[in-house]
Structure 1
Amino acid sequence: MRRLIVVGSVTGAPGVTTTALALAVVWPSEADGGVRPVMVEADSSGGDLMIRFGLPSAPSLLDVAAAARQPYPGSLLGAASELPCRVRAVVAVPGRGPCREAVRLLAGEAGRRVLLGDEHDRGTVLLDVGRLGEDVEPLLAAADRIVLVARGGAEPLTHVSACGLDADAYTGRVSLAVVGPCPYPAEEIAHTLGIGSVVFLPWDAKSVAAMNSSRQGVLRASGFRPPPLMTSVRTLARRLAAPPTDEMGTADVDRGRVLVQVPGVEESGW
Structure 2
Amino acid sequence: MTALALAAGWPTEADGGVRPVLVEADGSGGDLMIRFGLPTAPSLLDVAAAAGQAYPGSLLGAASELPCGVRVVVSVPGRGPCREAVRLLAGEPGRRVLLGDERDRGTVVLDVGRLTGDVEPLVEAADQVVLVARGGAEPLTHVSAYGMDVDAYGGRLTLAVVGPCPYPAAEIEKSLGIERVVFLPWDAKSVAAMNSPQPTVPRTRGFRPPPLMATAQALARRLAMVQETGATAEGSDGDRVSGAVGARLGERPVRTGLVQVPGVEGSGS
The TM-score bracket by the shorter chain reads 0.7 to 0.9
TM, length-normalised to structure 2: 0.83
Alignment correspondent of 1:216? 199
CA gap of 1:76–1:159, structure 2 versus 1, over 3 A, is same
CA contact (8 A) 2:11 2:221 kept: yes
Offset of residue 269 of structure 1:
11
Query: Contact 1:207–1:220 (CA<8 Å) still a contact in 2?
Result: no
Question: What's the counterpart of residue 159 of structure 2?
Answer: 176
Tell me which residue corresponds to 1:153: 136
Using the TM superposition, give the Cα deviation of residue 204 of structure 1 relative to its aligned residue in structure 2, in angstroms: 1.6
Percent sequence identity is 75
User: 5+ unaligned residues in a row in structure 1: which ranges?
Assistant: 1-17, 251-258
- Equivalent of residue 83 in structure 2, options 93, 100, 103: 100
State the alpha-carbon separation in 2 of the partners of residues 249 and 223 from structure 1.
22
Does the CA-based 8 Å contact 2:159-2:182 persist in structure 1? no
SS at match of 1:242: helix
CA contact (8 A) 1:205 1:269 kept: no
Gaps in structure 2 of 5+ consecutive residues:
241-264
In structure 2, the CA distance between the partners of 1:172 and 1:132, relative to structure 1 (3 Å rule), is: same
Structure 2 distance, partners of 1:74, 1:268, is 32
Aligned: 1:203 with 2:186: yes
How many residue pairs match? The answer is 242
Tell me what 1:236 maps to: 219
Measure, in 2, the Cα distance between the counterparts of 1:39 and 1:116.
14
1:83 maps to 2:66: yes
- Cα distance in 1 between the residues matched to 2:92 and 2:131: 23
Residue in structure 2 matched with residue 46 of structure 1 by the alignment: 29
CA RMSD, Structure 1 to Structure 2 (Å) = 2.3
Q: Distance in 1 between matches of 2:238 and 2:29?
A: 26
Residues 148-202 of structure 1: CA deviation (Å, up to 9, x unaligned): 1111122221221232332232021111111233222222212211234443322
Instruction: Verify the 8 A CA contact 1:59 1:90 in the aligned structure 2.
Output: yes
Question: Which residue number corresponds to residue 127 of structure 2?
Answer: 144
* Structure 1 pair 28–242 and aligned structure 2 pair: CA distance change class (3 A): same
Normalised by the length of structure 1, the TM-score is 0.83
SS in 2 for 1:237: helix
1:4 is matched with which residue? none
The residue number in structure 1 matching 2:145 is 162
